[in-house]
Chains A and B, each alone.
Chain A
Amino acid sequence: GEDVEQSLFLSVREGDSSVINCTYTDSSSTYLYWYKQEPGAGLQLLTYIFSNMDMKQDQRLTVLLNKKDKHLSLRIADTQTGDSAIYFCAESISNAGNMLTFGGGTRLMVKP
């Protein structure tokens, strides 16, 4: 079955790097995603990685995928107070249409 797990909370200082981790159980995942949710808003797609990739970099964001351990991480360099939000990882599976299974979300707090 599908299960996506994330830690609940992360606190960092402004300017530091943040690393948000996620584990998933379904080895047939095709794409893995990171979404950001700010208070009162919907989910904003930050980045995604195809399951045959190990790493993807997009400006301040770096996604690492360890398919053997089913571990996904999102690194945010030079974290700013505006990065404070809830971050969700999600997986899509090739035989499940385009349904996304989300983790419970990690609340990132950035202290000035």
Chain B
Amino acid sequence: DSGVTQTPKHLITATGQRVTLRCSPRSGDLSVYWYQQSLDQGLQFLIQYYNGEERAKGNILERFSAQQFPDLHSELNLSSLELGDSALYFCASSVARTSYGYTFGSGTRLTVV
């Protein structure tokens, strides 16, 4: 157990729907990162939050949004889902804004049908 908890582990939903993925960072970590892993794109950075504020943005679609709450857990919201959004979504956490080497959760596998 890495200490980073992601729920749910698996999610199957239909095109056009909206889902929320949840991440609880390791105890004491203030930064949360979201990554998408797909067969064709590999691992892509989506977004980073540090202590509740957005810190960095990567290849995140406008249909996707995220936030980090006062208790430091984070949620990734995916809306108007398309078949191509099917992927593994990983959350990772680190202590500071620019800590080297994050700790990853075990991911949420999203299947859009």
Query: Interface of A with B (CB < 8 Å)?
Result: 31, 33, 35, 40-45, 48, 88, 92, 96-105
Q: Which residues of A contact B105 (CB under 8 A)?
A: 42
Q: Which residues of B contact A99 (CB under 8 A)?
A: 33, 45, 48, 56, 58
The answer to whether A45 touches B31 (Cβ under 8 A) is no
Question: Per a CB cutoff under 8 Å, which of A41, A97, A104 touches B48?
Answer: A97
Q: Which residues of A contact B43 (CB under 8 A)?
A: 43, 88, 102, 105
The answer to whether A92 touches B48 (Cβ under 8 A) is no
The answer to whether B90 touches A98 (Cβ under 8 A) is no
Please classify how large the interface on chain B is, using the bins under 10, 10 to 19, 20 to 34, 35 or more: 20 to 34
Query: Interface of B with A (CB < 8 Å)?
Result: 2, 4, 31, 33, 42-43, 45, 48, 55-56, 58, 90, 92, 94, 97-107
Q: A101 CA to B43 CA in the complex, in Å?
A: 8
User: B102 to chain A: closest CB distance in Å?
Assistant: 7
User: A55 to chain B: closest CB distance in Å?
Assistant: 18
User: B91 to chain A: closest CB distance in Å?
Assistant: 9
Q: Which residues of A contact B48 (CB under 8 A)?
A: 97-99
Question: Per a CB cutoff under 8 Å, which of A43, A88, A100 touches B45?
Answer: A100
Q: Which residues of B contact A104 (CB under 8 A)?
A: 42
The answer to whether B90 touches A97 (Cβ under 8 A) is no
- Most B CB within 10 A of own CB, among A97, A104, A105: A97
- Contact flag A43-B90 (CB < 8 Å), given A98-B31, A98-B48, A99-B58: yes
Closest A residue to B109 by beta carbon equals: A40
